[in-house]
Amino acid sequence: MSLFYIDNSDKMELENFSDEFGPEMIVEVYDTKTNMKGVLVIHNTALGPGKGGIRMTPTVNVEEVFRLASTMTWKTALAELPFGGAKSGIIANPKEITKEQKFELIKSFARALRYLSPSKYVAAPDVNTAEEEMAVYAKENGSMKSVTGKPTDLGGIPHELGSTGFGVYHSTKVAVEHMGMSLKGIKFAIEGFGNVGVFASKFLTEGGAKLVAVSDSKGAIYNDQGIDFENLKEVKEKTGSVTNYRLGEVLDGKKLFELPVEVLIPAALPDVINKSNVNNVKAKIVVEAANIPMKEDIEDTLHWRKILVVPDFVANAGGVISSYIEFVDGTPQDMFRTVEEKIKRNTKLVLERADKDKVKPRDAALKIAKDRVLEAMKRRK
């Protein structure tokens, strides 16, 4: 029988981040049987149970999970969903363990959080977790409502249908038009060719944009004349890396952020745009498909340089909108319709409010989201 240790001590380390919105709870869990080490941050539940994915990386920590959880609070509020914000992480390297060991860690995590999920926390896929892991979590937890992103046979609308990338496409289209350009023919580069990057690339190229650069963990491929999406996808699936796409120049992955494109889309890891490269960004628009791809001071620098940044919790909300549709037993058709409607409306609202108030888009989006959460908090008292 497993023995779990539950620790809230790290909350003291986040005092500088705490405010009237949260965090409501920080829980660290340890399982002596499986050596599972995990963390859950429930940021705010005024609008509903905290919603957020489970990521599994060797470096995930309380601060990272807290930043992601607070982003989820604003994302769900801006999308007008009956969810709050949360996030969780399991400290492990999936490349160094078997599939069975990975599932055991998920099971252990689900057991440890059973007293909070789904009443206070509804999980979802995130980095290195997908529908299989969500099925394991739901079955071990004992409630299908404890998680979204499940396989279809369990009532899920898997993120593998591309809901986040579909939303990124619509957010990018609105941003491009807001800047007085047309999507047709613009050049874009995308960091990360996982679920989000693949579908964002697919929908953008189908919409007439020109994909010129893509990166993954092995490096980047660059062709200013354009990259064929279907061929690239096939190469990635067969060889494991976009760098094996022969019709282009192989670059260090970090160089992708400095390429001459109209639109740059970070779609994988946190803090990829930072002090080392922020002044070399040449794009006119950065659409944050990934969560927290840069810190706020870096966003400030881009804003000062007249580069439009569409914040993560605006651009990549397609995933959580899909989660809500699954949560209320909707269909994939309901999901695609709702994602398009909400992402287009909210991106337009945020960019127009930013122009009107003469602030950067993140400030405008946060003001809208925080006002909604504050009103919910007042109603709860």
Q: Where are the domains of the chain?
A: 4-69+87-156, 163-371
pLDDT, tens only, 213-247 = 999 999 999 999 999 999 999 999 999 999 999 89
Domain 163-371: CATH class, spelled out: alpha beta
Fold agreement between 4-69+87-156 and 163-371: yes
pLDDT, tens only, 264-309 = 999 999 899 999 999 999 999 999 999 889 999 999 999 999 999 9
184 is catalytic: no
Across 163-187, average pLDDT: 97
pLDDT, tens only, 92-125 = 999 999 999 999 999 999 999 999 999 999 999 8
CA 333 vs CA 79, 130, 207: distances in Å: 18, 21, 20
CA 179 vs CA 123, 175, 189, 238, 260: distances in Å: 36, 6, 18, 38, 17
**Range 4-69+87-156: architecture per CATH:** 3-Layer(aba) Sandwich (3.40)
Whole-model pTM over 0.85: yes
Whether 213 and 197 have beta carbons less than 8 Å apart is answered as no
The pLDDT confidence band at residue 13, using thresholds 50, 70 and 90, is low
Across 7-32, average pLDDT: 75
Q: Determine the pLDDT at residue 9.
A: 47
Whether 200 and 289 have beta carbons less than 8 Å apart is answered as yes
Q: Which of 87, 120, 202, 342 is catalytic?
A: 87
Lowest mean pLDDT among 84-93, 117-126, 154-163: 154-163
The pLDDT confidence band at residue 195, using thresholds 50, 70 and 90, is confident
The answer, yes or no, to whether residue 365 has pLDDT greater than 60, is yes
| Percentage of the chain lying above the pLDDT 90 cut | 88
